[in-house]
């Protein structure tokens, strides 16, 4: 087992998994508090269309997915703010349409080397050095910016009207949050995949918020849980010879349910 952990591919997986688990969980606190879990799923599924578009046009699949997810996130926010269509309805439409568009575009991609399953369910053991650098770069940038504007994000999350009165652009911050969520979703594709990405974003944050109501402390705890479940999921998948993405998602979900039952028992 120790020999496996020393393999370059596994080392890259553990490094990238740690940063992605951290940033996904930190963003997840905002997602859970603002009730954006369904939006997170919609953005995650839209990444498939972006990946397919990138492959079809010969661009970077992750670059195309980042742009496409950002566009979908803004459109979801725009449609929801119009008030003519309920938020969950607009998300459902975008989710289904994006997946359908991804499948449609993939039918025109003739490259036999394309690992569609890897995009859908993760392929963390196939990470390249550039993938690791990209995940660290985006992860550190998102964490730093969110830390700098955390108070504004928190106020706009709990009381958007009061935030506007205080001069905080609540709507603009919502769009920024959605764009950051898109970036986090894209860098998590190689770890847990498009289908399972929401679990890594929501489960650690939901677990932390069961025990802590202080925003800053909950964010720190969520980040710690995110790193631990990602790393333990990778190691467990090596030991059991199971898909890493699915194993990580199951570990994150198991931790959530165990903490939920434990808290209920001692409540």
Residues 222-254 pLDDT 10s: 999 999 999 999 999 988 989 888 899 999 999
Q: Tokens 């997986």 label which residue?
A: 13
- pLDDT tens, residue by residue, 146-164: 888 888 877 776 766 777 7
Q: Has residue 1 got a pLDDT over 70?
A: no
> What domains sit in the chain, N to C, each tagged with a CATH number?
2-260 (1.10.3470.10)
Mean per-residue pLDDT for 198-206?
Answer: 90
Cα 49 to Cα 181: distance, rounded to the nearest angstrom? 17
Confidence of residue 267 (pLDDT cuts 50, 70, 90): very low
Cα 98 to Cα 68: distance, rounded to the nearest angstrom? 10
CB-CB contact of 152 with 168 (8 Å): yes
Say what the pLDDT of residue 76 is: 76
The gap from C-alpha 49 to its chain's centroid, in whole angstroms, comes to 16
Interacting residues of 209 by C-beta distance below 8 A, sequence separation 6+: 29, 32, 33, 218, 222
- pLDDT tens, residue by residue, 97-144: 888 998 898 888 877 566 777 788 788 888 888 888 888 888 899 889
CB-CB contact of 58 with 199 (8 Å): no
Confidence of residue 81 (pLDDT cuts 50, 70, 90): low
Which of the two residues, 21 and 62, has the higher pLDDT score?
21
Say what the pLDDT of residue 260 is: 82
- Look over the chain and give the mean of its residue pLDDT values, rounded to a whole number: 82
């Amino acid at each position: 087992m120790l020999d496996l952990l020393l393999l370059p591919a596994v080392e890259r997986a553990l490094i990238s998994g740690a940063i992605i688990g951290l940033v996904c969980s930190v963003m997840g606190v905002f997602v859970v508090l603002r009730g954006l879990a369904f939006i997170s799923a919609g953005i995650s599924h839209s990444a498939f269309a972006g990946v397919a578009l990138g492959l079809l046009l010969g661009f970077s699949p992750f670059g195309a997915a980042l742009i496409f997810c950002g566009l979908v996130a803004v459109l979801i926010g725009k449609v929801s703010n119009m008030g003519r269509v309920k938020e969950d309805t607009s998300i459902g439409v975008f989710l289904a349409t994006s997946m359908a568009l991804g499948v449609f575009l993939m039918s025109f991609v003739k490259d036999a080397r394309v690992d569609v399953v890897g995009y859908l369910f993760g392929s963390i053991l196939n990470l390249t050095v550039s993938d690791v650098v990209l995940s660290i770069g985006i992860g550190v940038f998102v964490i730093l910016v969110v830390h700098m504007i955390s108070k504004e994000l928190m106020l706009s999350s709990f009381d958007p009207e009061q935030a506007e009165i205080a001069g905080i652009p609540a709507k603009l911050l919502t769009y920024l949050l959605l764009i950051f969520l898109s970036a986090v979703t894209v860098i998590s594709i190689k770890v847990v995949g498009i289908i399972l990405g929401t679990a890594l974003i929501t489960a650690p944050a939901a677990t932390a918020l069961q025990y802590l109501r202080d925003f800053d402390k909950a964010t720190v705890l969520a980040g710690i849980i995110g790193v631990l479940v990602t790393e333990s999921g990778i190691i467990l998948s090596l030991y059991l010879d199971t898909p890493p993405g699915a194993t990580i998602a199951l570990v994150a979900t198991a931790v959530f349910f165990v903490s939920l039952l434990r808290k209920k028992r001692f409540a």
